Amino acid sequence: MRPGFRVRNRIRTLSILLFALGIFCPARKVGAQDPFELRVEEYEEAAFGAFTFEEHFIDFADGTLSSDGTVAPTNHQFHMSSEFTAGIAPEISVGAMLLTGVVPGQGGLQYAGWRVLPHLYLPDSWRLPAKFGLTAEFSFQRTIFDESPRTVELRPVIEKRIRNIQFDLNPSVERSLLRSETGWIFEPSFRLAYDRNPRFNLGLEYFSSMGLLSKLLPFGRQVNQLFPDARWKLKKSVLWDVGVGAGLTQSGNHLVLKSRIEYSFGRTR
């Protein structure tokens, strides 16, 4: 079987699965942003035998002050997530994430949940005008950290590079896996980055939660944040980035510090 035909078959199969998710998954109430992973996903063409391990750190320096149902105030919470991703085919990888967090007044680091993340990327050899990918993130978390214990997020990846400038867009949507909740949530994000040299770049990230896809909230009630960030390639296989985010509205968190360390090993992509 020709490689191109196999790729089209994989894409067709995933498209059918995602369409089924859209029909059968119940909807989700309007909520806040992802509390465990503040990262704009980029295009990464997978390879069989290629692995990455990432550690995500988020410090809510100035967060929410009151509970939202079962969700605890985020002010001064600290979240740490461990993510392992394995390439299983030239266009497909699968990740798993362990979620932990510290809630003020409730002891030290505690278990918060777990996630499974299949990734699909269109081959760069197709020479499309931009690079495209898709991640489906299935999350299972404790309701002290998120209003719904089971959610699914569809995260498209659109990437375009012009010389030293790279733009990545994730027009993501999220919904609950519980039938008692209603509404797709629109949560777009992007990163605009400038490469100072091959080992260092500066960027500006944007994260949001705009409400129901069918009926967006007024801007003042949305969650919108900007994160100036910097990214260093410490070694060929080690990447470190840091960012400081500020809220643009009164909704959500007002000041967030984040950091991520990524270690790649195995087969080279």
- Tens-digit pLDDT profile for residues 97-137: 999 999 999 999 999 999 999 999 999 889 999 999 999 99
Reading the block at residue 210, the tokens are: 């705009």
Query: Residues 206, 190: contact at Cβ < 8 Å?
Result: yes
Query: Residues 89, 11: contact at Cβ < 8 Å?
Result: no
Closest C-alpha among 30, 12, 160 to residue 4:
12
Rounded CA separation 41/137 (Å): 12
pTM: 0.86
Say what the pLDDT of residue 185 is: 94
Q: 24: part of which helix (H) or strand (E)?
A: helix 3-24
DSSP 8-state secondary structure symbol assigned to residue 125: G
Count CA within 13 A, CB hemisphere, residue 105: 6
Domain tally for the chain? 1
Residue 242, beta-bridge partner list: 230, 259
The residues, ordered by sequence, that sit 6+ positions from 122 with a Cβ below 8 Å of its Cβ are 7, 11, 91, 128, 131, 132, 133
Closest C-alpha among 224, 155, 213 to residue 184:
213
Question: What CATH number does the domain containing 260 carry?
Answer: 2.40.160.40
The residues, ordered by sequence, that sit 6+ positions from 218 with a Cβ below 8 Å of its Cβ are none
Say what the pLDDT of residue 21 is: 43
Q: Which domain holds residue 67?
A: 3-266
Rounded CA separation 43/124 (Å): 10
Backbone angles phi, psi at 8, to 5 degrees: -65, -40
- Residue ranges in the chain modelled with pLDDT below 50: 1, 3-5, 7, 11-31
Say what the pLDDT of residue 19 is: 41
Closest C-alpha among 153, 229, 148 to residue 187:
153
